[in-house]
Structure 1
Amino acid sequence: MIKEYIEAKYGFKVHTAYIAEVKRSLGLPMYDAPNAVEELKHPRKHPTAEKVEAIKDALRHFEIIS
């Protein structure tokens, strides 16, 4: 729902990893993925400031953060 909200309101898509990174930075509880790897094959890219603000707006919209 977060991805759909951001695309409808801001007109761009965000990757699930970006949403997870923002949630992690805010200290929100995260789901433990049973198939997660310790080391990634490719270095993780970080979201732009614009995308971080859009994700935070979506989290506020869905009342995950205040």
Structure 2
Amino acid sequence: MDEKVAKTPRPHMLDADEVAELLRIKKGSAYEVIRKINAEQQARGRVVIRGRVRSDVFDALYFPEAD
């Protein structure tokens, strides 16, 4: 039972300052981005934190991996 399991980085919650910095937009626009993403996540039945967005969801939408 002492098997080593590869740890994947856990997603963290991005706030408006971090979103604004990543997208190079104003903080007010970052809040709009967060609201949009959170509305989509709530529609899928997921719990969201107001004013924050999961980093993995954000990255998938704005920085998709090149195939």
TM above 0.5: no
Higher strand share: 2
Larger Rg: 2
